[in-house]
Amino acid sequence: IGEQSNHFTSIHSWLGLLTISVFSLQWLVGILVFLVPTGMALRYKEAVMLFHRFIGLLLVVLPTLTAFMGLSESNEFGVYGLGLIAKFLALSLTIQAALVMFFLHGPGNLILKSVQELRNEQKFR
């Protein structure tokens, strides 16, 4: 810890940067395609929605993976006293990611609606 380290030299920092970049792009595309009335054809919105949903699931996994990398690096670099806390945090993050995945794609598709349901409701016209 006494040594000076360079920034963005670990997988944790690169995954963090990737997570922030993907989140920002997802947010921007979501607003431009689905919120702002652009007159975009419904078939293009449907195509974007498939990618938007996939990226949304990726944004559940990426931050969790980034946090795991940060926890493992803190143990690797000798930050002591984090053993039990790191294990509890890792378990909590795993449960949180599993619950989000379950609610998004579990039995009955509790949150996400299909493109066909959205078309029937005509939310994107």
**Best CA proximity match to 96, nearest among 15, 73, 88:** 88
pLDDT of residue 112: 58
**What's residue 122's pLDDT?**
58
CB 97 within 8 A of CB 53: no
pTM of this prediction? 0.71
C-alpha to C-alpha distance for 102 and 57, rounded to whole angstroms: 11
Q: What is the pLDDT of residue 11?
A: 87
User: Residue 21 above 90 pLDDT?
Assistant: yes
- Alpha-carbon dihedral 24, 47, 59, 94, rounded to 10 degrees: 170
The enclosing H or E element of 12 equals helix 11-30
pLDDT at 9: 82
Task: Say how far apart CA 125 and CA 118 lie, in whole Å.
Answer: 10
Q: How far apart are CA 14 and CA 55, in angstroms?
A: 18
